[in-house]
Structure 1
Amino acid sequence: MRARITASTVLLAALAGCTNQATRAEIETRCAQAIADRSDGDKTKPAACEPLRKDDYEALVISVGLRDAGVVGDDGRIDPGGLLGTTETSEAPAGE
């Protein structure tokens, strides 16, 4: 019985500690905003990005760059106009 109470106490303490930590999605959102907010030419890793692994951080830098360049929209879809450097999208005329 004593072992169950001790185990339960340890489990509850661990869960309480986890609730104060940011989720991965929250960290990525803060990091992406910090990358977007830094000045042009600044290549230092923002403090908001420190919890991320190197590969995840580099992928996020590329993602933010593509979004800022207009290649990828806020919805995550590729914008053909942004990809080609134009603002027009190429759609086939109706009936073809």
Structure 2
Amino acid sequence: MTDGELRVQPWHAGAWTTAPAAVAEDGPDVVVTAVEGSDAWRHTAYGFVHDDAHALLAPLASPGAVEVTFDVGWDGQFDQAGWCCGPTSRPGSRPVWR
């Protein structure tokens, strides 16, 4: 990860929404093993809620930019990887992107 001035930030500077099965830093990369059955669905049209995906969250400066590369060994139906970005608010502060 890098900060607003393109300085490398350590992966452990982020916080996991839900801990993965395994996490290992490998040079500038992070290798993550998901817990089987974890998912990022929130509320679907048919009432499905399953929100235990492994997202590594860190503040993003404004203006900010992100570049992500995934090297994934797909081995099951619905395997996926992605980048999560959304607004969050803390009491007494303005909304920020995470």
Per the normalisation by structure 2, the TM-score is 0.23
Of the two structures, which has the highest relative contact order with CA contacts closer than 8 Å and spacing of 6 or more?
2
Query: Which structure: greater helix fraction?
Result: 1
Q: Which has the larger radius of gyration?
A: 1
Query: Which structure: greater strand fraction?
Result: 2
